[in-house]
Structure 1
Amino acid sequence: MTMRIGDLARLSGVSPRLLRYYEEQGLLTSHRIGGGHRRYDADAPVVVGHIRALLAAGLPTNVIRDVLPCVQGPGPELEHCAAPTLQEQLRRLDGRIFTLQNARAALTDLLANATSPTQS
């Protein structure tokens, strides 16, 4: 059984435009039928759910493309093959958090040392 893009949008709660973007990024597969209309396999709503969960975890689409083959079930549940990629993403995220914390501390110091505006 296959479904049209409008059906997938309704079932997944994701706009057709975003579904086309997922397809352009290599995250979602469709089959073309007469007139170039897209048709998606019956498991497409589950795949879209996986994509949404991985996006919610802050993963960029290029990483999701690499990790998606390691995703199983509706959960999603990740197989061990996803671990190295996710560990690298976590290291990068920790680095960004560290940098932001330092910038916040520096800004807090600047504000603490700022002189109050002169009153006229």
Structure 2
Amino acid sequence: MRIGDLSARTGASRRSLRYYEEQGLLVSSRSPSGQRHYEDEHVQRVRLVQAFLAAGMSSGTIAEMTPCMAEPNEDRARQALEIMSRERARLSQAIDHLAAARNALDNLIEDNHAYLARSAQDGS
């Protein structure tokens, strides 16, 4: 199938598919005229890449997992689990930092409300 067909079947834009190839996440064969050609199994690969991206993984991290996706076996499944666990820890840390930032902002908002309430009392 050509890139437009893969795009239609996966919902990924042609630009995204070319990007996936540049990053080593997807490999196509080329026709003599240079057109990309994909196999049916590429549909599942693109969907998997999209799932990893939606889960917050970078293309570089997903590239670490391409051997696990290409030829799955028990060792590669363990490797993928380690990578995904590492990414989960990274996301958890980012969430903790965001929650702390939100709490700090909440405190500033409360201080501002208190200031406005004092100003309103002083002005009446």
Query: Aligned to 1:8, which of 6, 13, 24?
Result: 6
Read off the aligned partner of 1:116 and give its amino acid letter: L
TM-score (norm 1): 0.83
Counterpart residue number, 2:62: 64
Structure 1 unaligned blocks of 5 or more: 73-77
- Name the one with the larger strand percent: 1
Structure 2 unaligned blocks of 5 or more: 71-75
Read off the aligned partner of 1:12 and give its amino acid letter: T
Counterpart residue number, 1:116: 116
Read off the aligned partner of 1:58 and give its amino acid letter: G
TM-score (norm 2): 0.81
Q: Which runs of 4+ in 1 moved over 6 A?
A: none
Q: How many residues align?
A: 113
Counterpart residue number, 1:75: none
Larger Rg, first or second structure (1 or 2): 2
Counterpart residue number, 2:22: 24
Among all aligned residue pairs of Structure 1 and Structure 2, give the percentage whose two residues are the same amino acid: 38
Is 1:41 the counterpart of 2:39? The answer is yes
Read off the aligned partner of 1:113 and give its amino acid letter: D
Q: 1:44 & 1:100 partners in 2: Cα distance? A: 36
What SS does the corresponding residue of 1:34 show, helix, strand or coil? coil
What SS does the corresponding residue of 1:41 show, helix, strand or coil? coil
Read off the aligned partner of 1:106 and give its amino acid letter: A
Q: 2:11 & 2:95 partners in 1: Cα distance? A: 31
- Name the one with the larger helix percent: 2
RMSD over aligned Cα atoms: 2.0
Q: What is the CA-CA distance between 1:35 and the residue it aligns to?
A: 1.6
Q: What is the CA-CA distance between 1:28 and the residue it aligns to?
A: 0.5
